């Protein structure tokens, strides 16, 4: 497998957090994201982001279209799903989590010889692709919900 000009692939959560709360990322990861090198983003990460937003698991202070416009910067290349990547999702180790988005990310990284930047320990522990791992505890503010008074 030839290594492309790309070196890194962003996990969907890394991409979202880099856009919405970069200060919560470790300095090492912020440096990787801001170094000006082109990184890859799976096209399915756009779909995953839209689904998370629709389900209320991703609250934004802008529209989804605005997030995509800002987030698809010059140092990011969207990598499309190919037949080889789709097939590669079935070649992951037994016991790899069944989430189709995670499987696609890992298959993409493995097939394109990229290092996946992720905070997901299940992906790190699977050993199915090169990983730049960092522990992350979400600090995303939650919307305040008031409880009915009894």
More confident residue, 60 or 139: 60
Residue 16's CB is within 10 A of a number of other CB atoms, namely: 21
CA distance 141 to 62: 15
Most trustworthy range by pLDDT among 19-23, 33-37, 78-82: 78-82
pLDDT (tens digit per residue) in 99-137:
999 999 999 999 999 999 999 999 999 999 999 999 987
In the chain the domains, ranked by start, together with CATH numbers, are: 8-133 (3.40.50.1010)
Coil vs helix vs strand at 131: strand
CA distance 107 to 126: 12
Q: Which of 16, 85, 86, 6 is nearest to 47 (CA)?
A: 16
Q: Which of 75, 72, 1, 20 is nearest to 43 (CA)?
A: 72
More confident residue, 137 or 37: 37
The model carries a pTM of: 0.88
For residue 137, the model assigns a pLDDT of 73
Give residue 148's Cα distance to chain centre. 37
Is 90's pLDDT higher than 80?
Answer: yes
For residue 1, the model assigns a pLDDT of 46
CA distance 51 to 45: 10
CA distance 144 to 141: 9
For residue 147, the model assigns a pLDDT of 43
Classify each residue of 62-72 as buried b or exposed e, where b means 16 or more C-beta atoms within 10 Å of its C-beta: eeeeebeeebe
């Amino acid at each position: 497998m030839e290594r492309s000009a790309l070196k890194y692939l962003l996990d969907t959560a890394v991409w979202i957090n880099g856009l919405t709360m970069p200060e919560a990322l470790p300095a090492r990861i912020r440096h990787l994201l801001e170094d000006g090198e082109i990184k890859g983003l799976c096209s399915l990460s756009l779909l995953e982001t839209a689904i998370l937003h629709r389900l209320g698991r991703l609250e934004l202070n802008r529209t989804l279209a605005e997030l995509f416009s800002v987030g698809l910067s010059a140092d990011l290349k969207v990598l499309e799903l190919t037949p080889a990547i789709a097939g590669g999702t079935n070649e992951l180790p037994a016991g790899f989590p069944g989430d189709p988005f995670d499987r696609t990310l890992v298959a993409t990284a493995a097939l394109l010889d990229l290092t996946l930047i992720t905070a997901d320990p299940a992906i790190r522990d699977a050993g199915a692709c090169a990983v730049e791992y960092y522990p992350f505890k979400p600090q995303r503010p939650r919307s305040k919900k008031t409880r009915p008074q009894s």
